[in-house]
Amino acid sequence: MKRVIWLMCGVLMIIMLPTSTLGNSTVSPAHAQEGTVPYIEWLEKCKFKMIFLPPDTEVLGETITCGILHTYEKPNEPSSAPIQVVFAILHANTTTPRNDPILYLAGGPGSSALFSIDVWVDTPLRMERDIILVDQRGVGYSTPSLSCDAYMRSYYSRDISNITRCVNELHARGVDLGNYNTVNNAHDIGELMTLLQAEQGYESYNLLGISYGTRLGLVVMRDHPQLVRSAILDSVYPLVVDHYSELGPNLQRAIEAVFVACERDEACNRAYPNLEQVFYEVLEQLNIHGGSVSFLNAVFSALYNKNYFQALPAAIYLIHEGNRHEGENYLYFGSPNSDFEGYDSYYDSYDSDLFDEYIAAYRKFNHANAFFMALQCQEEFYFSSYDIAVETAAARNTDRTIADSQLYDVERMAEECPHWFSTAAPESSNERIYSDIPTLVVSGEFDPITPPQWAKIARETLSNSYYFSFPGLGHGVIDGHPCVSKIFSDFLDDPYTQPDASCRAEMRTDWYIHPNYR
């Protein structure tokens, strides 16, 4: 779901060497049952280069083990092309782990789980359970890779010839884009869970999905309920919502939530009074002088993460007074009082060549743009349209400038989707998911793309579910506050009992108060 991926949002990062099998590893014959698809190929060593992690934190191949699920592009059809789904197991920080691991489903669609493996190393969720990270079919280090440099270059130029080149390259490699969808994605997850039960002794799984990962998680719950013990759905993207028609209204809702939260906070309201009025005056200024779309796109991205949006009121005031450069820098690079402070000392200590290698790997592996387009066109956009988006924005009284800033994406999808994939997915791709699996459904107050209302929609057909919205958080609440970690852990320990969420009352946004307004 994330349209703008921030390079420096997470500074603790790793690189996996770019080979089709994670390096030249020796396969254990006992586990590589070649010819019997699906099967798991276990790698004796994960071929990682570590950046920003102490060298003694993990022993790759021991505390973290890696493998490859070998399966078919078209499930259960040996005549279809073979594909490899890469995964890693971060073993629990205990000698007596529980036999119900956490299986993480990344968002995007198209984001690599393995590229962000670092953020899972020290999570409290790893205290008693293994954590399984999977690069979904076509994504990250899985093969074939549905990442296309030509398309990235054409994103803003909207050069259709680059899309044609990308699609032709994929077809020449034997890729059938129609097979890269959520149902097949869920089938891979089901195969992996079944094989790991036999080879690792797992009993059942706790799904943890974020953004698109929640949509994938819902389909796994529907198609493989016998394998799932519980599910945590963070920043929910239900099958039944119309993502593209709601882009503008959802952004405006999140912005207005910031106005309300700032007004309720004594320090924020004193520093930035009448924030809503000042914001819309900024839009008027930018409409006259240019820059409203880039500003709103920066606001959109900042609302994902507290390290950015806690400086949003300051940015609005600075731009209003003519200091656009400083104001927008806060949106692009983070708040001065964010968790990012102090990272400069880390950067200074690292080898520049290694960091350059990280940048190259980031561009190649972090997000599979062709996977995103193929899946979103099939399952989402073909059930919507540009006209529906315009009508929805008007019906929900969305500010015209805000609506127009998001209609760029809708217009782009309308132009490009016929060149990626020409037909819509089955109607089942937009149906409600019914389940009695214990499910924790959560959302962030300032989330600009998967609003709290979507979480409530998903919960309506999840009979054993609990819902919590977290104040002062954006998209992906999992690592936003210790209160979230506590609720997640309590739920996993006893998924049939509603966790105590009283700690939410202590959550506050640490608004950045600029010296000019103190």
Residue 75: is its pLDDT beyond 70? yes
Q: Is the dihedral of CA 103, 104, 109, 110 positive or negative?
A: negative
Q: Which of 170, 215, 209, 1 is nearest to 73 (CA)?
A: 170
313, 264 in Cβ contact below 8 A?
no
pLDDT per residue over 293-341, tens digit each? 999 999 999 999 999 999 999 999 999 999 999 999 999 998 887 765 4
Number of domains composing the chain: 1
Task: Tell me whether residue 488 is in a domain.
Answer: yes
Task: Tell me whether residue 162 is in a domain.
Answer: yes
Per-residue pLDDT at 490: 98
The whole domain housing 209 covers 34-241+426-507
φ/ψ of 168, rounded to 5, equals -65, -40
Per-residue pLDDT at 51: 53
Task: Tell me whether residue 449 is in a domain.
Answer: yes
Beta bridge partners of 233: 209, 441
Task: Tell me whether residue 389 is in a domain.
Answer: no
* Integer angstrom CA distances of residue 3 from 31, 70, 108, 279, 304: 39, 30, 8, 23, 11
Per-residue pLDDT at 350: 52
pLDDT per residue over 116-144, tens digit each? 888 898 899 999 999 999 999 999 999 99
Beta bridge partners of 205: 228
Task: Tell me whether residue 308 is in a domain.
Answer: no
Per-residue pLDDT at 15: 34
pLDDT per residue over 145-203, tens digit each? 999 888 877 666 778 899 999 999 999 999 999 999 999 999 999 999 999 999 999 99
φ/ψ of 351, rounded to 5, equals -65, 125
* C-alpha triplet 429, 433, 435: angle, nearest 5°: 155
Per-residue pLDDT at 385: 94
Task: Tell me whether residue 251 is in a domain.
Answer: no
What is the number of alpha carbons within 13 Å of residue 54 lying toward its C-beta?
Answer: 4
Residue 24: is its pLDDT beyond 50? no
The enclosing domain of 48 has a CATH number of: 3.40.50.1820
Mean pLDDT in residue range 411-422? 91
313, 272 in Cβ contact below 8 A?
yes
Residue 267: is its pLDDT beyond 90? yes
255 pLDDT tier (thresholds 50, 70, 90): very high
510 pLDDT tier (thresholds 50, 70, 90): very high
Task: Tell me whether residue 29 is in a domain.
Answer: no
Task: Tell me whether residue 365 is in a domain.
Answer: no
